[in-house]
C-alpha cells in the first residue's frame, strides 16, 4: 500500500541520519584526542622518534657490556671449565680406587672361602643329624685326623706285635744256660783273687803263707 511504502522510506531516512551523526561525533572525538607522540617522554633531543631521545648508555646496554668485558667472561668460563675438569678427575680417581678395593676384597673373599673349604675337608666339619624331632650338630673328622687315627692304630699294633715276640723269645730261652754260666764266673773270680794275693805263678818271689 502507499502508506507502508512511505513509512519504510521514512525509517530508512532516519537510520541514515543517525549514522551520519555517529560518524561526525567520532571525528570530533578523534580530533580532540592526544597524539601518539604525546605518550612518549623525551629525556633529550627534539627528534620525532623516541629512540633518538634515549641516551646511548641506556639505548644499548648489551652492546656496551659485550665491548667492555669479553676477556673477563672468557677467563671465568675457562676457570670454571678447569675446576669442573679437576673435580671430574678427582671423582674418577676415587671411583677407580674404590673399584680396586672392591675387586681386592672380592678376591680375598674367594681365596679365604677356598681355604676354608680345604680346611673343612682336611680338619673336619659339623654336620646336622636328626634325632627324632630334634637336630643336633655332630663333628665329622677330616682326612688329616683320619690319617692320624690310622697311624696311631698302626703304631699300637706294631707295639703289640713287638711285645708278643719278646714274650715268645723269653719262653724259648733254655734255663740251664744261666746256671752253667754262674759257677764259671764264680771260679774265675776266685782265681783272680788268689793270684792277687799270692802273686803270679811264675814269680820267683812268692809270698809265704801265713802261719796257722
Pairing of strands 124-131, 134-141: antiparallel
- The span from the CA of 126 to the CA of 136, in Å, is 10
Band of residue 43 on the pLDDT scale cut at 50, 70, 90: very low
What average pLDDT does range 151-157 have in this prediction? 94
**Predicted pLDDT of residue 139:** 85
What average pLDDT does range 74-95 have in this prediction? 88
Does 65 score more than 80 pLDDT?
A: no
Amino acid at each position: 500500500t502507499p502508506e507502508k511504502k512511505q513509512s519504510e522510506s521514512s525509517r530508512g531516512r532516519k537510520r541514515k541520519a543517525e549514522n551520519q551523526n555517529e560518524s561526525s561525533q567520532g571525528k570530533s572525538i578523534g580530533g580532540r584526542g592526544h597524539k601518539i607522540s604525546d605518550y612518549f617522554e623525551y629525556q633529550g633531543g627534539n627528534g620525532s622518534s623516541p629512540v633518538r631521545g634515549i641516551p646511548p648508555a641506556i639505548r644499548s646496554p648489551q652492546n656496551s657490556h659485550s665491548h667492555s668485558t669479553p676477556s673477563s667472561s672468557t677467563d671465568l668460563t675457562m676457570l670454571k671449565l678447569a675446576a669442573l675438569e679437576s673435580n671430574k678427575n678427582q671423582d674418577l680417581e676415587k671411583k677407580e680406587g674404590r673399584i680396586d678395593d672392591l675387586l681386592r676384597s672380592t678376591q680375598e673373599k674367594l681365596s679365604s672361602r677356598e681355604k676354608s673349604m680345604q680346611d673343612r675337608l682336611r680338619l673336619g666339619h659339623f654336620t646336622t643329624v636328626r634325632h627324632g624331632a630334634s637336630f643336633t650338630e655332630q663333628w665329622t673328622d677330616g682326612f688329616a685326623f683320619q690319617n692320624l687315627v690310622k697311624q696311631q692304630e698302626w703304631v699300637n699294633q706294631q707295639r703289640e706285635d713287638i711285645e708278643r715276640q719278646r714274650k715268645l723269645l723269653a719262653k724259648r730261652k733254655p734255663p740251664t744256660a744261666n746256671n752253667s754260666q754262674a759257677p764259671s764266673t764264680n771260679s774265675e773270680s776266685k782265681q783272680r783273687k788268689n793270684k792277687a794275693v799270692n802273686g803270679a805263678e811264675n814269680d820267683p818271689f812268692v809270698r809265704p803263707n801265713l802261719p796257722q
